[in-house]
Amino acid sequence: MTAGQAYPPGMAASPVGPAPSRTTPGRARIPLSALFRGFLLASLNAFGGGLNAHLLNLVRREGWLADQEFAEFSTFAQTLPGSNNGNLSALLGYQLRGVPGAAVALTALLLPGSLLMAALAGAYFGGSLATDPHVSGALQGAAAAALGIGASAGLNVLRFTLTHLQATVVAVLTCLLALFVPGGTVIALAVLLPLGVLFGRST
C-alpha cells in the first residue's frame, strides 16, 4: 500500500516483517540430543577404525547430508592438522547445527574411546594383559577388520570424488607422492591441493 492509500475493511496496516533468518533449515530442525546420540553410536560402533563408514551411514539414514557433501567434508578433513576423525566430526556438526553442533559432535565422538582407553590402559599396563596371547589375537583381528571398514569408506569417497579426469590425476599424484617421496604429503598439500580446488571450480 502507498502512503495515504486506504486499506480494505478488516485489513489493518502492519509493519514490515522481519528479515528472513540466515540459519539453514537443517540447523533448526536437528536437535542437539539427536546429534549427540548419532555421533555417540557411530563412535561406539567404530571399534578398530572405520569411523567414516559409520558416519556416512548416519547422515544417510537421518537424511542430514547428501553423499557428495559428505565426501567433500571427508576430503577436507584429511587436509587439516590433527585427527581426521575429529576434524570430520567437528565439520559435520558445524554444518548441521553451527558451533554448538560441532562441540556436541566432537564430545560424542571422543567420549566412548576416552573412557574405554582409560579403563583398558589401567588393565593392560597394570596386569598381565600385555602378554596374553588372546588379547594379542583380538587386537590383530580388530586391526584387520578396521582395514576392511576403512577401505569401504575410501571407496565410497572415491565414487563421489573421482568424477572427472583432473580429479583422478590429482588423486593418483597425491598417492604416489605420499608413498614414495620423503615429505610427499607436505608437497601434495602445498601444490596439488590448490590444483584440485581449481579443477573443482572449473568443473
> Could you give the CA distance from residue 176 to residue 132 in angstroms, rounded to a whole number?
39
pLDDT tens figures, 11-49: 444 333 333 333 344 445 789 999 999 999 999 887 666
pTM over 0.85, yes/no: no
> Could you give the CA distance from residue 171 to residue 78 in angstroms, rounded to a whole number?
13
Inter-CA distances, 163 with 19, 39, 77, 171, Å:
39, 29, 20, 11
pLDDT tens figures, 73-103: 988 888 788 888 899 999 999 999 999 999 9
